[in-house]
């Protein structure tokens, strides 16, 4: 058996990502000891009840003591307070990372509170489901998914490489990226789509002439696809939008411009333009399936889960 990559890992926050990391590290024997903590006593109790970590600590300061790797798994808006709380308790030579969905804001919030004796290597695993909390995690969440690593100017190459080994051990592929490019890429592939899905679901829920019950009953005609990501954790997503404002608003601006152009094509009856557009978008799906980033089964393979 190969030795663990880190002797002791501390997970701060015990939601979907942290609980999946815990399961994935256990699956791979990647950590000697996993210590977890969460702000709410209810979450800590739930984690203890299901035996999520080797040990659940009552505070972040306590959790990070002696840890070789500390991963901040809290909503982006809570990162600064956590960094401030753990800063004085970090072991010299430890690596501090995170799993936040935005990177520039996290770097700005966290870096000032870390001592010079630790390595700060932000990261972002592109994986998730619409579930949250310590019971939502599972070991396979990161398999075949990407984890973006965002080394900082002072990150020691060995610390970066070790964190990459951990993510690969948990099933992910890794790629390095700058914080600003990360935030733009994610605005396109994640943040704008989420806001659009939230908006469409909100609009449908609002319409008075179409009853709630009709919106729900007839959702299989397309609408239900939007409701999955619009069921994602509200705190996490509030923080994402507030902390990646510029890139998200820029992409939404592009989206609106394009939506207006298609609305105009509908209004003027420009069928050729619509057909050309829809043929092009069909190819994008093919690329995603070929890249192994989605199932090839029709309807996401929902049939399997059907009653």
34 versus 201: smaller Cβ distance to its own copies: 201
Least distance in angstroms from the C-beta of 70 to its own copies: 24
47 versus 215: smaller Cβ distance to its own copies: 215
Please state, in angstroms and rounded to a whole number, the distance separating the CA atoms of residues 166 and 161.
9
Question: What are the beta bridge partners of residue 125?
Answer: 147
Least distance in angstroms from the C-beta of 63 to its own copies: 27
Are 61 and 85 spatial neighbours (Cβ–Cβ below 8 Å)? yes
Are 21 and 143 spatial neighbours (Cβ–Cβ below 8 Å)? no
Least distance in angstroms from the C-beta of 17 to its own copies: 12
Please state, in angstroms and rounded to a whole number, the distance separating the CA atoms of residues 76 and 80.
8
4 versus 128: smaller Cβ distance to its own copies: 128
Are 134 and 50 spatial neighbours (Cβ–Cβ below 8 Å)? yes
92 versus 269: smaller Cβ distance to its own copies: 269
CA distances from residue 175 to 97, 160, 178 in whole angstroms, order as listed: 15, 11, 10
Please state, in angstroms and rounded to a whole number, the distance separating the CA atoms of residues 263 and 76.
36
Least distance in angstroms from the C-beta of 224 to its own copies: 5
Least distance in angstroms from the C-beta of 51 to its own copies: 21
Please state, in angstroms and rounded to a whole number, the distance separating the CA atoms of residues 138 and 126.
15
Q: What is the DSSP letter of 91?
A: P
Tell me whether residue 152 is exposed, middle or buried, using C-beta atoms within 10 angstroms of its C-beta: 0 to 12, 13 to 18, 19 or more.
middle
Least distance in angstroms from the C-beta of 15 to its own copies: 13
156 versus 242: smaller Cβ distance to its own copies: 242
Least distance in angstroms from the C-beta of 264 to its own copies: 10
Contacts of 168 by beta carbon, 8 Å cutoff, 6+ apart? 174
Are 113 and 80 spatial neighbours (Cβ–Cβ below 8 Å)? yes
40 versus 279: smaller Cβ distance to its own copies: 279
Closest C-alpha among 158, 145, 123, 130 to residue 24:
145
Least distance in angstroms from the C-beta of 270 to its own copies: 9
Least distance in angstroms from the C-beta of 175 to its own copies: 8
51 versus 307: smaller Cβ distance to its own copies: 307
Contacts of 159 by beta carbon, 8 Å cutoff, 6+ apart? 95, 119, 121
66 versus 146: smaller Cβ distance to its own copies: 146
160 versus 186: smaller Cβ distance to its own copies: 186
Please state, in angstroms and rounded to a whole number, the distance separating the CA atoms of residues 100 and 147.
11
């Amino acid at each position: 058996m190969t030795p663990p990559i880190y002797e002791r890992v501390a997970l701060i926050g015990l939601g979907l990502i942290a609980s999946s990391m815990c399961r994935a590290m256990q699956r791979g024997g990647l950590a000697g000891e996993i210590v977890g903590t969460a702000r709410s006593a209810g979450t800590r109790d739930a984690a203890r009840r299901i035996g999520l970590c080797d040990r659940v600590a009552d505070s972040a300061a306590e959790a990070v003591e002696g840890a070789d790797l500390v991963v901040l798994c809290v909503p982006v808006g809570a990162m600064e307070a956590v960094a401030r709380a753990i800063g004085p308790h970090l072991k010299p030579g430890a690596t501090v990372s995170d799993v936040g969905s935005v990177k520039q804001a996290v770097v700005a919030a966290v870096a000032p509170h870390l001592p010079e004796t630790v390595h700060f290597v932000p990261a972002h695993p592109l994986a998730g489901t619409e579930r949250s909390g310590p019971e939502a995690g599972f070991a396979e969440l990161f398999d075949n998914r990407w984890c973006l690593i965002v080394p900082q100017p002072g990150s020691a190459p060995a610390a970066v490489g070790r964190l990459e080994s951990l993510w690969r051990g948990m099933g992910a592929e890794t790629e390095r990226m700058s914080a600003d490019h990360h935030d733009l890429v994610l605005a396109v592939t994640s943040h704008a789509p989420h806001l659009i899905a939230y908006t469409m679901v909100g609009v449908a829920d609002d319409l008075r002439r179409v009853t709630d019950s009709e919106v729900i009953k007839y959702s299989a005609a397309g609408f239900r696809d939007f409701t999955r990501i619009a069921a994602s954790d509200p705190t996490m997503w509030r923080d994402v939008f507030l902390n990646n404002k510029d890139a998200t608003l820029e992409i939404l601006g592009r989206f609106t411009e394009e939506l207006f152009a298609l609305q105009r094509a509908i209004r003027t009856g420009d069928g050729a333009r619509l057909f050309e557009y829809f043929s092009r978008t069909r190819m994008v799906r093919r690329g995603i399936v070929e890249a192994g980033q989605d199932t090839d089964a029709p309807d996401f393979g929902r049939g399997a889960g059907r009653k």
